[in-house]
Amino acid sequence: MRETAGGLKQIHSDRPDCFYCSKNEKLDSLMIEAAALQVSTLYVNRDQTHGGRCIVAYRRHATELFQLDRTELRLFMEDVSLAAEAIYGAFRPDKMNYGIYGDLVPHLHVHLVPKYKGTEEWGEAFVNAPPSRKTLDPDGYRKIVEIIRSQLKR
């Protein structure tokens, strides 16, 4: 495990109304924690319509990239890149897509969405909330968490 950024602003949960901060049952219903990265947490999205889809969420409550100082921003982007590389290693998609939205959930997080040639969305933006979600049984999620963890280069 990489060392966390010592000396940076204290990372804490300061927004009880934010599910990324409070890590409540809403968060559990949407994703599964897979790994603690330098300044963020890697989650496997329970919707696996895009095989290997994950989220990297910044550890403290921020809403915009420009609210991070240069060190925080560098570490966060390193985490995003590391996670994307791990997903790529595990799933071998044709392309990784990266989405930062946050209109409705403003806590800074990046959607990491593997894209595959031959699918309807190839060449287009991924559908964030597909009409029919592909969910797995607990063993299916456990396998995804394990393979992504095994691919994380630390």
Which tokens in the block code for residue 139? Answer: 């063993």
**C-beta of residue 41 within 8 angstroms of C-beta of residue 54:** no
Residue from 2, 5, 11, 15 touching Zn ion (CB under 5 A): that is 15
Q: By CB under 5 A, tell whether 107 contacts Zn ion.
A: yes
Nearer Cβ to Zn ion, position 105 or 147?
A: 105
Which tokens in the block code for residue 28? Answer: 């559990």
> x-or-dash pattern for Zn ion, window 115-144, by CB under 5 A?
------------------------------
Instruction: Give the interface size with Zn ion as a residue count (CB under 5 A).
Output: 6
Q: According to DSSP H, which parts of the chain are helical?
A: 19-22, 25-30, 70-91, 138-151
> x-or-dash pattern for Zn ion, window 43-72, by CB under 5 A?
------------------x-----------
109-115: strand order across its sheet: 31-36, 40-45, 54-58, 109-115, 95-99
Residues that bind Zn ion (CB under 5 A): 15, 18, 20-21, 61, 107
